[in-house]
A and B are shown apart, each in its own frame.
Chain A
Amino acid sequence: MTVDAPRAVGAVEAPAAVTRPSGVRVPLAQAVYIIWYRDIVRFRRDRVRLVMSLAQPVLYLVIFGVGLSSSIGRGGSLGAGLPASFSYLQFMYPGVLGMAVLFTAIFSAMSVVWDREFGFLREILVAPISRSAVALGKTLGGATQAALQGVVMLVFAPIIGVHLTVVSVLETIPLLFLLAFALTSLGVALSARLKTMQGFQVVMNFLMMPMFFLSGALFPLRNLPGWMTVLTRFDPVAYGIAPVRSAILAGSGLPQAAVDRVASVTIGNWVVPVAADIGVLVLFSAVMLAIAMRSFRHRD
């Protein structure tokens, strides 16, 4: 279909004044798509990163999970009412999904800082697309990558003896995406402000690792010292891992009462239901996204 571009430009191009319907404003959805699309193209190309970012969760699963499974023992020690066959590995597995999502989400959001350092951010910011679209596109791009990492981790379930069902997988995937979206929006909100890579790394080490450890990924959020209980309840990741763990453990045939006990976040005596977990993540995303959009709109 393509007409070969002629060598002599002048021969074809009409006088500029005529060909210039300039001033096109790209619709919001298309602008979001463009930003997202670029991130996905880069992601697909970067096989090394894909493998590397799987390595860490797998390492946790194998070494941490297997190691603790043998020393902690089974069933009762993780919570009253659990069947004797329930292993730490089964408990930890949904946490590792959350971890894969968390690390990838934050790492993807860092691409904003990379884009700033390598100059491409200026190409984005000078384009006639709305800054809100930039923030949303970046968040969706990172969230897609992070959710995919989480989904890829699902293949390890059979190997470590976690039973997945069609229903539990179909529940898990959107939950992982929501968690991914919430965490990427946090990352983008931060990186929209940070001018240097070092700055981002510092913030992340003081934020990402605590968020991971306090999320309930590695241990149940019950019977903790008071100060720690409070901190964990402020960790958005906790509200992402809880519903994923509920879905997976319920799917693996654990009685509902036991699932609630071992998976859900509690506030006082209130067992936070999945709908409320989702509410927390949606609210968190909305706030972070608003901050990110504001930062992108800012002009010195």
Chain B
Amino acid sequence: MVLSPARPPQEATAGDSVDAVITVSGLVKRYGTVEAVRGIDLSVARGEIFGFLGPNGAGKSTTISVLCTLLKPTAGTASVAGLDVNRDPDGIRARIGLVFQDPSLDVQLSARENLLFHAMAYGVPRSQRKQRIAQALTTVDLTDRADALVSTFSGGMKRRLEIARGILHHPEVLFLDEPTQGLDPQTRAKVWEHLREIRASTGLTVFMTTHYMEEAEWCDRIAIIDHGTIVALGTPDELKAQVGGDIVVLSTADNASAVEEIAGRLGVQALVDGESLRIEVADGSAFVPQLIMALSMPVRNVTVRRPSLDDVFLKLTGRAIREEEGEGRTAMMRAFAMRRGGR
């Protein structure tokens, strides 16, 4: 199974691309006194999978709601599929698919009935409804449960059904708000598999939010958002390149003094991240021997690795995006790695 469809042409990633499907400029959204989005600019090219990455409360859902015309922008402009969110909300709604952060299925209807409602509401011609519904169900592997009530579905099945529903009317852009939140690692990997399959076969533009770092790695480009502003934007590799070289993670008997010794003797700044210290260096393997020599306290363990988006986020904001995620995350990385053919 091919899981890495061709990336869109690189020039399309330029912010002012002619073929931009989504353009946002100076977007601000206030809820009363809460400023959820504080002036963001971005542009998404046709066929791109664009990731919006940030911690809870960063303003991701708010941005999606504005782009999907469910909320009005307080200031700034945004256009989707060439239409302005203020001037032609109906036109936009007809051209986009949306998977909300929270479930939005009618659980008292069957999967097929949910899709039928959607097909009718989006004006899919009667002659095509049956076939499109069958196809959408096949895409997300739900054909055998098509006539079961959605109330009997697991979280993962519901999510997949919502994705099927989102693409049923052949939208130009599919918005996904945390499509894999709360799913187990296997199911998350499966959802991603479906998404990439759909993109590969239809050239659909995907705008998705997530707070799972490793999911962002699967996007063509990502914007990191924190407190309502975009702090970084680029391909995952570009962002990781912002973190110089390698990451050395160590833990010692006395982390506090270790930070001082590292700064004093080696001239680099170590960041405290929970029980461990994290250092950015150009060449990790050459740095480790110096490090061991320089420290007066016992070193418990040392690891050298390539920078991840976590490191990017930590570098830009001074804190980790999500501390609570532990095992689930590594398990998922493993699931991804397996599907990627080992890495």
Contacts and interface: CB of A to CB of B under 8 A. Distances in A.
Interface string B91-102: 101110010101
A17 B171 CA distance: 10
Nearest to B133: A5
Interface stretch (B199-207, B239-247, B255-263, B294-302): B199-207
B117 A119 contact: no
A251 B104 CA distance: 49
B72 A299 contact: yes
A24 B203 contact: no
Contacts of A122: 70, 100, 104
A143 B300 CA distance: 72
A36 to B, nearest CB: 11
A120 interface: yes
Interface string A1-45: 011111111101101110110111110001100100110011001
A13 B201 contact: yes
A48 to B, nearest CB: 12
Contacts of B98: 126
A128 B81 CA distance: 15
A31 B118 CA distance: 11
A19 B170 contact: yes
A128 B123 contact: yes
Q: How large is the interface on B (under 10, 10 to 19, 20 to 34, 35 or more residues)?
A: 35 or more
Nearest to A1: B130
A34 B117 contact: yes
Interface in A46-76: 46
B106 A25 contact: no
A118 B108 CA distance: 11
Q: How large is the interface on A (under 10, 10 to 19, 20 to 34, 35 or more residues)?
A: 35 or more
Given A24-B94, A31-B121, A9 B109 contact: no
Given A5-B138, A23-B95, A17 B197 contact: no
A254 B151 CA distance: 52
B69 interface: yes
Contacts of A41: 109, 113
A82 to B, nearest CB: 47
A30 B170 contact: no
Given A23-B94, A23-B95, A299-B72, A118 B122 contact: no
B176 interface: no
Contacts of B103: 118-119
B121 A124 contact: yes
Contact of B134 (A4, A45, A123): A4
Contacts of A123: 100, 104-106, 117-118, 165
Contacts of A130: 90
A20 B170 contact: yes
A5 B123 contact: no
24 contacts: A2-B131, A9-B135, A10-B200, A13-B202, A19-B170, A23-B81, A23-B91, A24-B169, A25-B90, A26-B120, A26-B121, A30-B120, A34-B117, A34-B121, A42-B109, A45-B108, A118-B103, A118-B107, A123-B118, A126-B70, A127-B118, A128-B94, A299-B89, A300-B31
Given A26-B122, A41-B113, A126-B68, 12 more contacts: A2-B131, A2-B134, A5-B134, A23-B81, A24-B94, A25-B90, A26-B120, A30-B120, A34-B121, A46-B108, A128-B121, A128-B122
Interface of A: 2-10, 12-13, 15-17, 19-20, 22-26, 30-31, 34, 37-38, 41-42, 45-46, 115, 118-120, 122-130, 299-300
